[in-house]
Structure 1
Amino acid sequence: MAEDFRTPDTDACAVKARRREIVKEALRQSESCLWTSTMVFIWLRRVRWQHKTITLAPIVLTALAGAAFLKEWLPAGAVAVIAFLATLIPSVAEALDVQTQVEELKRVAAEYKALQDRFRRLARITALGDVDEAEKMLAELMDRMDAVRSSSITPPQRYFDDARRQIEGGHYDFAVDLPTGETPSGMKTEPMVKGPAAEPM
């Protein structure tokens, strides 16, 4: 019968190494989700604005084309172009499938944001307990990550640049995670001085 040459110290070191790698990977994925969700949310705001424009534009153009005063100021050809655009825009919106894009971006952005919180919780809380349970949870979260990535949502480069400015500018920092006396914007705050208020001069 083969002897078990492992020692308690060796086992403890192995557990610490596994926990350390689980924490690193969870934090890495949490940061990845932060960047992706921020990009998609910025993109979503733009697409929602486009959707509202596409919805309202035909109504406004139709009203203008039928307005009597406009026919007096513009030639008949210009009025005909306005009427044509009023009928063209809904067809373009349907071809671009704007409404579906809005719903898909909402779903993906929410999923990435939820995963960001789950990975952070895994790194900061769950990984401090049972390592096997933490590793199992990491595998489950990675499966969810693979599923949301399968949508192949690829934000344009300008949304990455906007996200970088917001993230590096501290817009997503929590005060509880910052050194004492520092705000999420990076500015130092003066400590509050307890005691009698200063007398007016």
Structure 2
Amino acid sequence: MAVGSPVRAQGTWDRKQVIRITNQGQSADGRRARGFAGSRPKARGCQGGSVSSAIADDGVLMRPSVVDRLTDHQGRTVEDFKPQQLSRVMSERTAGQLRSAMVTVVTGGTGTSAAVDGVAVGGKTGTAQNGVGNSGTPYAWFTSYADDGNGHRIAVAAVVVDGSAGRADVTGGGLAAPVAKAVIKAAFGK
């Protein structure tokens, strides 16, 4: 997957559950989507999550997925979505170096608000310019991975757009990392 390319998810989605973002940066309901790199999207949240996922998976990029299976009303599996490898995007060595750096961001850097007890979390914080000449309130973002040490790993990317914080208070660690933390805690039952 290249930055700026569309992301395809498996399955059928109810429009109330998911707002599909097109390659042009327009959401299905007409609202403008913003990415990590300013007013013209260059990378979107799902792509940030895919980068973190590849780093966590020793440099292997997997097809992004939202669900692992569909069940009926009695909890019986109707359809499984097996992980699909897309490509190797970096060496294992590079992925290990990036994991180490991302863990440092969460254990003692700008992403400490994403730390979850009992879960190894690595992340990268950031902000993105907004508006002509960066005249609007910036966007805060945080891309991460989490590993519970028992074979369960997830990648989470959070982008906060038009948050209520003042311009000077918009940071990935301050606004987006706590969103990722909430998702990680929910995923691991913490």
TM-score scaled to structure 1, two decimals? Answer: 0.23
Larger Rg: 1
More helix by share: 1
More strand by share: 2
TM-score scaled to structure 2, two decimals? Answer: 0.24
